[in-house]
A and B are shown apart, each in its own frame.
Chain A
Amino acid sequence: MAESRRVSQKSRSSTPSAQHQAYDGDAFVQHFEKRGAREIIIMDPVGKPIRSTVSQRRTYNYASLLKPLATMARNVVRDLDPANDVTFMRLRSETHEVHVSLNTEFIVVVIQKLKRKAK
Chain B
Amino acid sequence: MQAAEVEPKRTQRYVDEAYRLVLEKPGVEEVLIMNRSGVPVKTSMARQDALQHACLYDNLREKTQAFLQRMEPPQNLCMLRVRTRMHEVIITPDGKITILVVQNAPDTYLHSPQDK
Instruction: Enumerate chain A interface residues (CB-CB to B < 8 A).
Output: 61-62, 65-66, 68-69, 72-73, 76-77, 79-81, 83-96
Contact = CB atoms under 8 A, between A and B. Distances in A.
Interface stretch (B17-25, B35-43, B74-82): B74-82
Interface of B: 52-53, 56-57, 59-60, 63-64, 67-68, 70-71, 73, 75-86, 89, 107, 109-110
A69 B75 contact: no
A87 B84 contact: yes
Given A76-B56, A76-B59, A76-B60, A66 B82 contact: no
Given A72-B63, A84-B86, 4 more contacts: A76-B60, A80-B56, A90-B79, A91-B80
The SS class assigned to the B binding surface is: mixed
B84 A85 contact: yes
A90 B81 contact: yes
19 contacts: A61-B71, A65-B67, A73-B82, A76-B60, A77-B84, A77-B89, A79-B56, A83-B86, A84-B85, A86-B83, A89-B82, A89-B83, A90-B82, A91-B77, A93-B75, A94-B76, A94-B78, A95-B75, A96-B71
